[in-house]
Structure 1
Amino acid sequence: MKIIAPSWNSDRHLIDSIGDIEDNPIKISTRENSLEHYRFTETDVNSGIFTAEIILTGFSHDADGDGEFDTTPRTMGSGPTNGFLQIDRDSAVTISFEFADGVVLTNSVPVNWNLGTVQFTEDLFLSSDTIIIRVFDLDMNLNPEAIDSIPLHVFSDSNVAGITVDALETNESSSSFVATVSLSHTLPSSGNRLYSLPGDEIFAKYDDHTLPKPYSISDNLEIETSAKIDSSVRPIERLQTSPVVFSDSFGSPIQSFSSNSQLQIVGTVTNDQVFTQKFVYLFQVKDDSNSVESISWIQGELSSNQSLDVSQSWTPKKSGTYHIETFVWDSLNIPVAVSPSVSTQIAVK
């Protein structure tokens, strides 16, 4: 708080004070509480500018939802920096200074709760990255002379239980909070480590228990954000496939093909990565006019260094040349190739 009052610079060689005498008091008040005769001191000799500060202590309230009050309401202090003032939500702080006989200067500032925000520093992270989460919530600067914290729930598609980490205030009164999380596709979630696979979406959220109107004091709101996780390995290199082979219904290899005879198209997919990879293996059969005769797929998941044979049955209805194409994607919803496509040509008699 600052009062510019050159006429109260009574001694040009000393740091003067105002407000703490009976005749010309300074009062700092809310609708419910007040500090009387609060002392302001000059910023420098002969400046005529007087300053002071107080800490607003709020009212008894559970600000983080853990079932315990996080505030210590109190009104005390005489100035210029030792004041504490209890205040309710949607109130105001008013300073009044009896500048001269019958002349009172006043100024007020409203005090409100605010809606917090949470966000990842990037929309897309690689699995080797350190995840940084930022929270900005003016109301959670509970003590402007200490580092405050906010508990965050961080989870992924592959680990919905997730972890709880503390977002720490960047300095004593910044109201800006930061949490860091590492990712692992081999180790379970623990501490600040989150189990997540490439292709996952990750989420961070917290409950805001200090909401502005029209919310009530007892309301809370879930504040959430998300980002995507990708592997540092290029998508097209994540799985290995080989040309398809053909067998009869008993699994015996066949080299010649006849119309109206059922055969098995067999493909092999291998995961050489150190992480588990989801996949959709798609078979497509085209005739010599490039018309699709058959399309089918198998969906699954490969652990690290696992290899799997996948097969689909197909019965050619007529003789001719057919092109067997295989595609390996990470999903059907947003198909991203995780292995090069493979094409094989056969002749059916």
Structure 2
Amino acid sequence: MIKQLGVTFSILLVFTIFINPAFAIEPLDRVDITNPRLVNSFGTQISNQINVNQQVQISVDIKNNQEKAQEFAYIVQIKNQDNITMSINWVIGSLNPGQTFSPALSWTPKVSGEYTAEIFVWDIENIVNNDGKIAKIIKNDALAEYATLKIVS
């Protein structure tokens, strides 16, 4: 009787383990980055051909694929045709589960040329300073594959 109970319990345990699906999200699938684009100050999409000294906004759509809120840093790095970094800017925010958000960071080309905007979304870590205040630190932990956008001025 005890042996039969043990076998039944083992079969039930194995059945339970194999039946429960795993909902783990791969690290680079926690958010989606789509639709990289240039927009004007009103949020209207504009051409990737811009003028020197024309201020533009570099924007994407970010979607949280998780079932929990996600703090993030939206980072835009601008490189010239020689692959030299000309600008790095970022803004931090938070996405609710399933939420889509379209952050934008401004940039103004000072010299004509071809540029590439590299767009990253990284995780944020909250730490407590010595004075007890909470600080937000950008972790070197990508939430998605980065996106690029070609710009000509």
TM-score by length of 2: 0.72
> Following the alignment from structure 1 to structure 2, what is the Cα–Cα distance between the partners of residues 239 and 299?
14
Q: CA deviation at 1:335?
A: 1.4
Paired residues for 1:34-183 under 5 Å: none
The structure whose residues are more often helix, as a share, is 2
**Aligned counterpart, 1:304:** 97
> Following the alignment from structure 1 to structure 2, what is the Cα–Cα distance between the partners of residues 245 and 293?
18
> Following the alignment from structure 1 to structure 2, what is the Cα–Cα distance between the partners of residues 251 and 271?
21
> Following the alignment from structure 1 to structure 2, what is the Cα–Cα distance between the partners of residues 294 and 283?
8
Q: CA deviation at 1:321?
A: 0.4
Aligned residues: 118
2:119 is aligned with 1:335: no
Structure with more relative contact order (C-alpha pairs < 8 Å, separation 6 or more)? 2
Q: Could you say if the C-alpha distance between residues 282 and 333 of structure 1 is closer, same or farther in structure 2, counting changes exceeding 3 Å?
A: closer
Which deviations, in whole Å up to 9, do the C-alpha atoms of 1:3-49 show, x marking residues without a partner? xxxxxxxxxxxxxxxxxxxxxxxxxxxxxxxxxxxxxxxxxxxxxxx
**Aligned counterpart, 1:273:** 66
2:106 is aligned with 1:319: no
- Alpha carbons 1:238, 1:271 under 8 Å: kept: yes
Q: Could you say if the C-alpha distance between residues 333 and 248 of structure 1 is closer, same or farther in structure 2, counting changes exceeding 3 Å?
A: closer
Q: CA deviation at 1:275?
A: 1.4
2:36 is aligned with 1:244: yes
Which deviations, in whole Å up to 9, do the C-alpha atoms of 1:142-195 show, x marking residues without a partner? xxxxxxxxxxxxxxxxxxxxxxxxxxxxxxxxxxxxxxxxxxxxxxxxxxxxxx
> Following the alignment from structure 1 to structure 2, what is the Cα–Cα distance between the partners of residues 259 and 287?
13
- Alpha carbons 2:37, 2:149 under 8 Å: kept: no
**Aligned counterpart, 1:347:** 152
Please state whether the residue corresponding to 2:152 is helix, strand or coil. strand
Unaligned runs of 5+ residues in structure 1 are 1-230
- Alpha carbons 2:122, 2:138 under 8 Å: kept: no
Which deviations, in whole Å up to 9, do the C-alpha atoms of 1:266-312 show, x marking residues without a partner? 11100122111121110110000111111111111111110001001
User: Which protein shows a greater Rg?
Assistant: 1
TM-score by length of 1: 0.33
Give 2:80's aligned amino acid: D
Q: CA deviation at 1:333?
A: 4.3
Unaligned runs of 5+ residues in structure 2 are 1-22, 125-136
Please state whether the residue corresponding to 1:244 is helix, strand or coil. strand
Q: CA deviation at 1:262?
A: 0.7
**Aligned counterpart, 2:5:** none
Root mean square deviation of aligned Cα: 1.5
> Following the alignment from structure 1 to structure 2, what is the Cα–Cα distance between the partners of residues 303 and 250?
25
